[in-house]
């Protein structure tokens, strides 16, 4: 009785949907014991426990203390020491460790005896002794230190029944791990209302990895007996990790907000005041101002005793303009920051913001009517027609198939969790997929708990409760309840469980060849809609070329996913031989399906789902496909359909999920096929959406008038000629509407590119957005729509033109380089023509290897004529572009300059990082390519009459290299400012390293001449005093530690001279190095930090930076500081044209 009460309290406390207080949780009496199992071999488990003598036990403890248990691998060392004492012993490493734990737990030796043994071993492990003395059977302080990769392997080796073992694992929790454990346990006990956790996309792996390792170690010590507890501890661990990373901002008390930030309110008030002053000054000038107080204020504020009113008025007007521009500048910077952050964290929401569409609608549907609509649809449980004759035939077809009982393993968990997306919207448990993926110590526990649910056929209600967001389909149709699409967010654990089940069912369906070829929804190793569109295109063109007869019907189901009866799903699962435990589990699971409706952030109520499927996990689409298998079976049996030749395979229908297209040779055939579909649909209680169904008839390859299809139930599928039908996104009727599709697609592509370029995304994100949001619009049509080379070239030309208009691409910049990968020095933009050709080559390769009859017909019809594979074509195209860029006299000059001198991989780091503004990125690349019109370019390349000499110094030809690194006129101004900017970053990082005073951001750092503390002294641009006269005695930075000195000097030469400049710095400070070693009696090292003006990185720079051991500085940051300075110089002195 006591045990049952205890279990009940655990379940009540741990459920993520139940709010309880910390006091209630503390009173629940939940005992926490270790969740790790004894690691024993099957032979050892079956053998009788060995009895150890006291001398043997003493020897075991001696071996333990001598093995240095605080270090990894102590079990192996302990076993070796044991074998030295007892060479003939057959005891294994794990068993020896188990006996050591038994000695401690059962207090075989007293505290004093243990202390004596430890002294004999002459090992000073005071912390271990104290922990051992305090250890009791209920203590959870012992755990083995496990690396993440070892954790996975170790958990996979454990036998599942051993999960309930409460034996304590070897090792000791560190103070840090114990602190994390206390926080996790306290948060789990509080069981507060869960809130959405931020993503960790911007957190460096070096900060996250050790923290996750400690948390996994901690969680492996916690005894977890239910899926509710697993979920609770996973969420608590996620919360604590997020807190430790400083990503949880404390909630500020709510204040009445004006809707504007304080800085904007302040500046607007300033403008308001200035405008008032301007008006009063104008009245004062015209002698209309009568208020003496205002006059005295204006005289005092604007010094009118010594300044004319006209002068003061002009100053005020200029201040108004400047302040207004400041607001615009600040707002632009905020938009830039927010858009880039949003793009990094959630690209879908960013693209929605560009389309000015969000999930929250402005006009919400009426709450009662909406809830009633969805309740009538989902809660109205309907059954299928059990008397239908075709059902028995369907059952007989798969009667010999039987799926084995399913058992979930830790390996399945680890494999499936890798497919879970990290940061998609979670369900009611607010647990993102990232945490289940990386909390590997919970995988074994989840495997056991999932198995328990499978065996019992039961599931907790919170797992099957979703959050459904209603998204408006067509704004023109208003707020009608039926004009909303339901998107359901489910608990991540539920999606993981159903994903594992879906994988197993899919394996079984493929193994038994149960899935029909005509259905391409959710089918592995297929191209999905592309398969169906290729087959459809083949049929249409074959009909035209052969001048054959063809009748087609497009079937649309009304609310297909929301109206499928659950009883029919269960019937189909049973008919195709799905294992009993899986079928029972799915049946019980569907009985508990429910969801909370949301429009925006407003809840519309809870709805039970007794009909239809969820649209938020990977199992639901598979269940729909299984429910539609009988339809394909029935249609195949009719032996009707279109043939491309006399002996070819008949094609009666194509399906993609619920999108169905029928093909018949004659009007009689298409009517028979359509009626067959109608009968099947009626029997399973699904309805046609007749307003979206259509039919068309072709005679001798030409379209003819048709009255449609009249069905026996009085319904008619009309022929919507000449209106085209959109099938899987492609407009068609008697043939694909190529020109119309090209026009629509090209317009959509151009609009998306324009929207992206109008945004404030940085250079890298801009290119990525075009590649992932605009290019797919064109790529989807590849192989289906007949694009010409000229049409694709025009789209690429239009793209480059838009890039130039928005200052992202210099008009004279190299075209080949634009399409090269960033790691190779290009911009990484996908060329439209190449994207289409790659897709065509990929489709041709796929069709060539397919054994499906319909795709074999596609191959025979030679719709795809590509000879190369996709990889071969891509490799050839990239190599051709790279060679073309390298061989160009001007555009390839930068590569010649750095050849053999720079580390090319690191030279392009600033490009792969992509954090510069797109305008700056385009400018720097144009400078590298000699595309900017300097005086030398105008005179020698364009053959103009302009003087090629530098416009500043008039001494030598004006090239980019001269302007950026050789002009004496700006050496002490612009060059020095750029140089100091880079040196300032290094100085700031050194201050952080030695715990010296430093501001939050390095760009706000103002280096002092001397800063020091007990750790080090840092000198900035300081003349070193020596007893010999030295020419070079003022390095940029000098770092003095107790036992070592570093001389750090920064240089930013032309990119072709980085190697020479590095050697020059080393030799220049050799005399100072020798002198300081003699005077200060410390080793001295010269550290040159050299960076090319356009980003070239010397081969030895990484080694030099490692010498000064600065963690937070990167080569990319140094490049960015350098390039920003170079861009400023180009903009300041060279007019772009």
942 assigned to some structural domain = no
Which CATH number belongs to the domain containing residue 1106 in this structure? 3.40.91
Question: Looking at the structure, do residues 204 and 221 belong to the same domain, yes or no?
Answer: yes
Give 760's pLDDT tier (boundaries 50, 70, 90).
very high
Per-residue pLDDT at 51 exceeds 80: no
Per-residue pLDDT at 811 exceeds 70: yes
Per-residue pLDDT at 136 exceeds 60: no
How far is Cα 444 from Cα 163, in angstroms, rounded to an integer? Answer: 8
Average pLDDT in the 780-793 region?
Answer: 95
Question: Looking at the structure, do residues 154 and 271 belong to the same domain, yes or no?
Answer: no
Rounded to 5 degrees, φ, ψ at 1048 are -110, 125
Average pLDDT in the 204-231 region?
Answer: 89
How far is Cα 104 from Cα 106, in angstroms, rounded to an integer? Answer: 6
How far is Cα 631 from Cα 390, in angstroms, rounded to an integer? Answer: 10
Average pLDDT in the 402-430 region?
Answer: 89
Question: Looking at the structure, do residues 458 and 597 belong to the same domain, yes or no?
Answer: yes
Average pLDDT in the 391-403 region?
Answer: 85
Give 473's pLDDT tier (boundaries 50, 70, 90).
confident
Residues in CB range of 45: below 8 A, 6 or more apart: 159
Per-residue pLDDT at 1009 exceeds 70: yes
Per-residue pLDDT at 359 exceeds 60: no
Host domain of residue 438: 373-732
> What is residue 131's predicted lDDT score, i.e. its pLDDT?
41
> What is residue 18's predicted lDDT score, i.e. its pLDDT?
40
How far is Cα 23 from Cα 190, in angstroms, rounded to an integer? Answer: 8
Per-residue pLDDT at 45 exceeds 60: no
> What is residue 313's predicted lDDT score, i.e. its pLDDT?
94
- List Cα–Cα distances, 37 to 99, 135, 347, 906, in angstroms: 14, 19, 43, 47
Per-residue pLDDT at 155 exceeds 60: no
> What is residue 152's predicted lDDT score, i.e. its pLDDT?
34
- List Cα–Cα distances, 308 to 281, 303, 312, 439, in angstroms: 11, 9, 6, 73
Question: Looking at the structure, do residues 786 and 820 belong to the same domain, yes or no?
Answer: yes
DSSP 252: P
How far is Cα 157 from Cα 155, in angstroms, rounded to an integer? Answer: 5
384 assigned to some structural domain = yes
616 assigned to some structural domain = yes
Question: Average model confidence (pLDDT) for the chain?
Answer: 85
Give 95's pLDDT tier (boundaries 50, 70, 90).
confident
DSSP 192: P
Question: Looking at the structure, do residues 454 and 509 belong to the same domain, yes or no?
Answer: yes
Q: Of 216, 244, 272, which closes a domain? A: 244
How far is Cα 867 from Cα 1077, in angstroms, rounded to an integer? Answer: 69
Give tens-digit pLDDT for 281-327.
Answer: 999 989 888 899 999 999 999 998 899 999 999 999 999 999 999 99
Question: Looking at the structure, do residues 93 and 189 belong to the same domain, yes or no?
Answer: yes
User: CB neighbours (10 Å) of residue 366?
Assistant: 13
> What is residue 29's predicted lDDT score, i.e. its pLDDT?
37
At residue 747's C-alpha, the angle toward residues 745 and 753, to 5°, is 100
> What is residue 122's predicted lDDT score, i.e. its pLDDT?
59
Question: Looking at the structure, do residues 712 and 746 belong to the same domain, yes or no?
Answer: no
Indicate the pairing of strand 594-599 with strand 465-472.
Answer: parallel
Percent of the residues in the chain that have a pLDDT greater than 90, as a whole number: 52
> What is residue 84's predicted lDDT score, i.e. its pLDDT?
85
Residues in CB range of 80: below 8 A, 6 or more apart: none
How far is Cα 802 from Cα 181, in angstroms, rounded to an integer? Answer: 55
Question: Which residue is listed with tokens 């003095």?
Answer: 1040
Per-residue pLDDT at 14 exceeds 50: no
DSSP 1047: E
Give 520's pLDDT tier (boundaries 50, 70, 90).
very high
Q: Report the domain count for the chain.
A: 5
Question: Looking at the structure, do residues 463 and 493 belong to the same domain, yes or no?
Answer: yes
Enter the tokens of residue 748: 């959509």
Enter the tokens of residue 208: 């996250």
> 685 in the Ramachandran plot: left (φ > 0), alpha (ψ -120 to 50) or beta?
left
> What is residue 345's predicted lDDT score, i.e. its pLDDT?
82
At residue 394's C-alpha, the angle toward residues 392 and 398, to 5°, is 115
At residue 689's C-alpha, the angle toward residues 687 and 690, to 5°, is 115
Our measurement of the distance from residue 958's CA atom to the centroid of its chain's CA atoms, rounded to an integer in Å, reads 46
186 close to 32: Cβ distance less than 8 angstroms = no
Enter the tokens of residue 297: 């204020």
Question: Which residue is listed with tokens 């028979």?
Answer: 672
At residue 816's C-alpha, the angle toward residues 814 and 820, to 5°, is 115
Q: How many CA atoms lie within 13 A of 414 on its CB side?
A: 16
- List Cα–Cα distances, 425 to 349, 431, 433, 459, 490, in angstroms: 12, 9, 9, 22, 9
Grouping H, G, I as helix, E, B as strand and the rest as coil, residue 342 is: helix
Our measurement of the distance from residue 509's CA atom to the centroid of its chain's CA atoms, rounded to an integer in Å, reads 31
Question: Looking at the structure, do residues 713 and 744 belong to the same domain, yes or no?
Answer: no
> What is residue 752's predicted lDDT score, i.e. its pLDDT?
96
Grouping H, G, I as helix, E, B as strand and the rest as coil, residue 661 is: strand
Question: Looking at the structure, do residues 745 and 718 belong to the same domain, yes or no?
Answer: no
> What is residue 49's predicted lDDT score, i.e. its pLDDT?
57
Q: What is the rounded end-to-end Cα distance, in angstroms, of the chain?
A: 87
Lowest mean pLDDT among 54-63, 160-169, 268-277, 767-776: 160-169
Angle of the 205-219 helix axis to the 227-244 helix axis, nearest 10: 140
Rounded to 5 degrees, φ, ψ at 497 are -65, -50
How far is Cα 322 from Cα 314, in angstroms, rounded to an integer? Answer: 12
Closest to 553 in 3D by CA, of 709, 730, 704 = 709
Q: Of 244, 275, 306, which closes a domain? A: 244
293 close to 321: Cβ distance less than 8 angstroms = no
| Gyration radius of the chain over CA positions | 37
Question: Looking at the structure, do residues 570 and 538 belong to the same domain, yes or no?
Answer: yes
Give 171's pLDDT tier (boundaries 50, 70, 90).
low
Closest to 64 in 3D by CA, of 50, 77, 83, 51 = 77
Enter the tokens of residue 20: 């309880």
367 assigned to some structural domain = no
Rounded to 5 degrees, φ, ψ at 472 are -65, 135
DSSP 902-925: B-HHHHTHHHHH--SBHHHHHHHH
How far is Cα 119 from Cα 111, in angstroms, rounded to an integer? Answer: 12
> 965 in the Ramachandran plot: left (φ > 0), alpha (ψ -120 to 50) or beta?
alpha
1035 assigned to some structural domain = yes
Q: Of 327, 354, 381, which closes a domain? A: 354
Lowest mean pLDDT among 52-66, 647-661, 1094-1108: 52-66
Average pLDDT in the 953-970 region?
Answer: 92
- List Cα–Cα distances, 130 to 29, 135, 143, in angstroms: 28, 9, 16
DSSP 432-446: -HHHHHH-GGGHHHH
Give tens-digit pLDDT for 573-601.
Answer: 999 999 999 999 999 999 888 898 988 88
Per-residue pLDDT at 24 exceeds 60: no
Q: What is the 3-state secondary structure (H, E, C) of 910-975?
A: HHHHCCCEHHHHHHHHHHHCCCCCCHHHHHHHCCCCCCCECCCCCCCECCHHHHHHCCHHHHHHHH
Write down the pTM of the prediction. 0.79
Q: How many CA atoms lie within 13 A of 96 on its CB side?
A: 25
How far is Cα 581 from Cα 455, in angstroms, rounded to an integer? Answer: 6
Indicate the pairing of strand 465-472 with strand 484-489.
Answer: antiparallel
User: CB neighbours (10 Å) of residue 53?
Assistant: 8
Question: Which residue is listed with tokens 């459809």?
Answer: 536
Question: Looking at the structure, do residues 718 and 834 belong to the same domain, yes or no?
Answer: no
> What is residue 1111's predicted lDDT score, i.e. its pLDDT?
65
DSSP 858-914: HHHHT-----S-HHHHHHHHHHHHHHHHHT-TTTTHHHHHHTTTB-HHHHTHHHHH-
19 assigned to some structural domain = no
Closest to 773 in 3D by CA, of 425, 476, 204, 348 = 348
1034 assigned to some structural domain = yes
Please list the alpha-helical segments (H only) found in 512-647: 529-546, 560-563, 566-575, 580-591, 619-637
24 assigned to some structural domain = no
65 close to 123: Cβ distance less than 8 angstroms = yes
Enter the tokens of residue 920: 């700056």
């Amino acid at each position: 009785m006591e045990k049952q009460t205890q279990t009940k309290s655990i379940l009540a406390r741990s459920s993520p949907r139940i709010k309880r207080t910390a006091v209630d949780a503390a009173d629940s009496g939940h005992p926490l014991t270790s969740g790790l199992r004894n690691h024993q071999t099957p032979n050892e488990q079956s053998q009788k426990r060995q009895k150890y003598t006291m001398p043997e036990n003493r020897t075991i403890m001696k071996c333990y203390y001598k093995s240095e248990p605080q270090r990894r691998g102590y079990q192996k060392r302990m076993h070796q020491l044991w074998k030295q004492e007892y060479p003939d012993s057959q005891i294994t490493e794990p068993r020896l460790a188990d006996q050591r734990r038994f000695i401690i737990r059962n207090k075989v030796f007293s505290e004093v005896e243990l202390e004596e043994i430890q002294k004999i071993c002459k090992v000073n492990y005071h912390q271990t002794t104290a922990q051992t003395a305090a250890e009791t059977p209920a203590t959870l302080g012992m755990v083995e230190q496990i690396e993440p990769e070892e954790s996975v392997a170790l958990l996979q080796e454990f036998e599942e029944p051993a999960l309930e073992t409460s034996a304590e694992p070897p090792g000791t929790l560190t103070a840090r791990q114990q602190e994390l454990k206390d926080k996790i346990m306290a948060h789990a006990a509080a069981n507060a209302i869960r809130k959405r956790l931020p993503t960790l996309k911007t957190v460096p792996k070096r900060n996250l990895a050790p923290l996750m390792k400690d948390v996994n170690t901690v969680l492996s010590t916690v005894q977890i007996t239910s899926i509710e507890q697993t979920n609770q501890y996973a969420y608590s661990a996620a919360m604590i990790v997020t807190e430790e990373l400083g990503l949880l901002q404390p909630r500020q008390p709510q204040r009445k907000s004006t809707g504007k930030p304080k800085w904007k309110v302040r500046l607007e008030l300033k403008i308001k005041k200035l405008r008032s002053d301007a008006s009063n000054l104008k009245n004062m000038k015209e002698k209309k101002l009568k208020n003496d107080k205002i006059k005295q204020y204006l005289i005092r504020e604007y010094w009118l005793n010594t300044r004319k009113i006209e002068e003061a008025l002009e100053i005020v007007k200029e201040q108004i303009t400047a302040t207004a521009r400041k607001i615009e500048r600040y707002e632009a910077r905020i938009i830039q920051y927010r858009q880039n952050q949003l793009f990094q964290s959630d690209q879908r929401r960013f693209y929605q913001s560009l389309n000015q569409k969000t999930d929250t609608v402005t006009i919400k549907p009426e709450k009662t009517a909406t809830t009633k609509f969805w309740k009538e649809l989902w809660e109205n449980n309907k059954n299928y027609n059990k008397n239908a004759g075709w059902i028995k035939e369907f059952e007989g077809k798969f009667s010999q198939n039987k799926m084995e009982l399913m058992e979930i393993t830790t390996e399945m968990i680890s494999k499936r969790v890798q497919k879970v997306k990290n940061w998609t919207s979670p369900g009611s448990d607010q647990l993102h997929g990232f945490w289940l993926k990386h909390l590997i110590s919970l995988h074994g526990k989840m495997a056991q708990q999932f198995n328990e649910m499978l065996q019992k056929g039961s599931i907790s209600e919170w797992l099957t409760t979703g959050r459904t967001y209603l998204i408006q389909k067509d704004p023109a149709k208003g707020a009608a309840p039926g004009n909303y699409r339901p998107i359901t967010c489910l608990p991540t654990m539920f999606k993981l469980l159903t994903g594992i089940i879906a994988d197993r069912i899919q394996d079984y369906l493929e193994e038994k060849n149960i899935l029909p070829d005509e259905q391409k929804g959710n089918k592995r190793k297929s191209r999905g809609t592309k398969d169906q569109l290729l087959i459809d295109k083949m049929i249409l063109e074959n009909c035209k070329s052969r001048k054959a007869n063809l009748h087609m019907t497009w079937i649309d189901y009304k609310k297909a996913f929301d109206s499928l009866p659950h009883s029919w799903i269960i019937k189909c699962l049973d008919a195709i031989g799905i294992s009993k435990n899986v079928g029972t589990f799915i049946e019980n699971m569907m009985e508990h399906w429910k969801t909370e409706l949301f429009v925006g952030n407003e809840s519309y109520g809870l709805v039970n789902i007794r009909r239809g499927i969820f649209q938020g996990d990977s199992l639901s689409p598979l269940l729909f496909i299984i429910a539609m298998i009988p339809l394909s079976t029935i249609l195949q049996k009719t032996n009707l359909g279109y043939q491309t030749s006399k002996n070819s395979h008949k094609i009666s229908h194509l399906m993609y999920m619920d999108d169905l297209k029928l093909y018949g040779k004659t009007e009689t055939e298409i009517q028979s096929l359509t009626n067959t579909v109608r009968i099947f649909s009626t029997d399973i209680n699904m309805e046609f959406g007749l307003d979206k169904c259509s039919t068309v008839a072709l005679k001798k390859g030409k379209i003819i008038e048709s009255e449609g299809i009249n069905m026996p139930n009085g319904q008619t599928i009309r022929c919507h000629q000449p209106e085209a039908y959109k099938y899987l996104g492609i407009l068609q009727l008697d043939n694909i509407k190529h020109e119309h599709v090209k026009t629509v697609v090209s317009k959509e592509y151009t609009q998306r590119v324009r929207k992206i370029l109008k945004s404030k995304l940085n250079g890298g994100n801009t290119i990525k957005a075009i590649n992932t949001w605009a290019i797919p619009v064109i790529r989807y049509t590849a192989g289906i729509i007949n694009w010409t080379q000229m049409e694709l070239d025009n789209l690429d030309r239009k793209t480059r033109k838009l890039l130039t208009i928005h200052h992202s691409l210099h008009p004279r910049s190299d075209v080949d380089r634009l399409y090269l990968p960033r790691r190779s020095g290009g911009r990484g933009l996908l060329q439209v023509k190449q994207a289409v050709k790659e897709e065509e080559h990929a489709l041709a390769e796929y069709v060539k290897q397919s054994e499906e009859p319909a795709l074999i017909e596609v191959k025979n019809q030679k719709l795809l004529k590509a000879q190369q594979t996709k990889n071969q074509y891509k490799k050839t195209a990239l190599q051709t572009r790279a060679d073309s860029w390298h061989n160009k006299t001007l555009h390839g000059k930068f590569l010649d300059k750095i050849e053999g001198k720079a580390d090319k991989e690191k030279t392009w780091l600033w490009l792969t990082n992509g954090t510069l503004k797109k305008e700056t990125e385009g400018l720097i690349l144009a400078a590298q390519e000699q595309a900017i019109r300097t005086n030398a370019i105008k005179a020698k390349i364009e053959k103009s009459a302009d003087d090629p000499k530098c416009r500043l110094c008039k001494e030598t030809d004006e090239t980019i290299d001269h302007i950026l690194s050789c002009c004496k006129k700006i050496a002490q101004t612009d060059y020095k400012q750029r140089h100091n900017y880079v040196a300032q970053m290094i100085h700031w990082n050194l201050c952080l390293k030695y715990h010296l005073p430093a501001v939050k951001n390095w760009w706000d750092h103002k280096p002092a001449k001397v800063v020091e503390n007990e750790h080090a002294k840092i000198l900035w641009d300081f003349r070193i005093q020596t007893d010999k006269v030295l020419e070079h005695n003022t390095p940029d930075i000098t770092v003095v530690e107790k036992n070592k000195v570093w001389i750090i000097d920064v240089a930013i030469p032309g990119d072709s001279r980085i190697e020479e400049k590095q050697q020059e710095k080393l030799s220049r400070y050799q005399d100072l190095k020798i002198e300081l070693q003699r005077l200060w009696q410390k080793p001295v090292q010269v550290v040159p930090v050299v960076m090319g003006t356009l980003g070239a990185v010397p081969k030895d720079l990484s080694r030099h930076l490692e010498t000064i051991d600065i963690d937070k500085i990167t080569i990319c940051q140094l490049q960015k500081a350098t390039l920003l300075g170079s861009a400023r110089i180009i903009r300041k002195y060279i007019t772009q044209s």
